[in-house]
Amino acid sequence: MYKALEKKIKNRTAVVGVIGMGYVGLPLAVELGREDFKVIGIDINPDKVNLINSGKSDIDDVKDKDLKPLVKGGKIRATTDFAVLKKVDIVTICVPTPLSKTKDPDVSYILAGVQEVQKYLHPGQLVILESTTYPGTTEELILPILEETGLKVGKDFFLAFSPERVDPGNKKYTTQNTPRVVGGTTPQCTRIAKFFYEQTITQAVEVSSTKGAEMVKLLENTFRSVNIGLVNEVALMCDRLKIDVWEIIDAANTKPFGFMPFYPGPGLGGHCIPIDPHYLSWKLKSLNYYARFIQLAGDINSRMPEYVVERINRALNEKKKSPKGAKILVLGVAYKKDIKDVRESPALDVIKLLQNAGAQVKYNDPHVPSIRMDNSLLKSVKLTRKLIQSSDCVAVLTDHSSYDYNFIVRNAQLVMDTRNATKNVKHNREKIVKL
């Protein structure tokens, strides 16, 4: 089984099924298609399937000009029908892994995908989970379901975990040149999964188990969450000390060793950093261990939207204006600059808190034409001189590159800058309030 699959991978006759065609699955499918693999993308959303089959992408990191030739050439097609797994040699599961309201892992999407794989599992097939999850998921949840078929892992089929490392909008590090960590259920599972990724990705790094590979991803994002929590707390300290936190960080960063810069902001956003540490914390609770660093960082980071609103209210009060009824213009609602992804964006929390305080909130984001706030739909307004001048406060929550910050500050009455986006603005700096 191993030699036969290895040969198929090597000569590009292996058919790859990608379950979940979102921010992880679609870029992976494109890289595989570029390397001459035939890819079948599976998604439960028919609109997404139709969009992909027309050669169009709804993902920041996949351009239509890259996807369309692959679709037209028969290298990539999408479907809602899981029955295609009968003809697939390699299955990668790239589905969402959100948290419940109680911050517990929601692995329902993984289980739904695995149950579909189980129906069509056949000898010689390689199954890889890429969705971020807690250590033990592959061995404790996925393996038993697949072995219910009577097939044995490492002998009849292969099972591995390889965490996605997508950073939306990153121009330097993409799916292709970001190293892969791979851990299999058996040594043969590890080897064949690593061999598969080596066909399309610069480097594949082997670890001893699926649990180890699952832990690697959680360490990476917990590291970032904890350090962002630290620098956010430093920002709170600097506010009380009346010191510019951005100046402090820049000065500390001149030390050539022993310091790595992290930057404060209005809160954490995206599909990984606000969520992944909670997966690890949840797992450790089941082992009677309290992950104190993770919990503390989570508390600090989750409070940052409230702090931003407090700073806006304080700045308005200093100008003898009430937060209630104030006209607030929010610039940027994506969770990071120059992308359209609003998942877990702290800007949404800031807007909601401002609205709850009685403020009249409008937003502009060149990448996000509309956002849903509870039961209402907000649409991005055109950024004009008149709009800026008529706003009591302009809050920069996402520092998109397309914004002319000199123009914004020159025309604004007050600017709340949560991203140090106005650092190069030389005039009218008295209007700027920084995080």
Using alpha carbons, list the distances in angstroms from residue 381 to 148, 274, 347, 408.
54, 28, 16, 15
User: How far, in Å, CA of 118 to CA of 149, rounded?
Assistant: 7
- The string of DSSP codes covering 235-278 is HHHHHHHT--HHHHHHHHTTSSSS-------S---SSSTTTHHH
Helix then strand count (H, E) for the chain reads 15, 15
Catalytic status, residue 272: yes
Tokens of 392: 């009591």
Q: On the CB side of 248, how many CA atoms lie within 13 Å of its CA?
A: 17
**Which residues contact residue 61 at a Cβ distance below 8 angstroms, ignoring those fewer than 6 apart?**
23, 27, 166, 168, 169, 170, 174, 175
* Distance (Å, whole) CA 81 – CA 149: 20
Task: Calculate the CA 292 to chain-centre distance.
Answer: 24
- Catalytic residue from among 189, 238, 272, 393: 272
Whole-angstrom distance, CA of residue 138 vs CA of residue 129: 8
Q: Are 142 and 129 in contact (CB under 8 A)?
A: yes
Token pair recorded at residue 3? 């030699």
Angle at 136 between CA 132 and CA 141, to 5 degrees: 90
Neighbours of 185 (CB within 10 A): 24
Burial of 136 (0-12, 13-18, 19+ CB in 10 A): middle
Task: Indicate which residues carry an active-site annotation.
Answer: 272
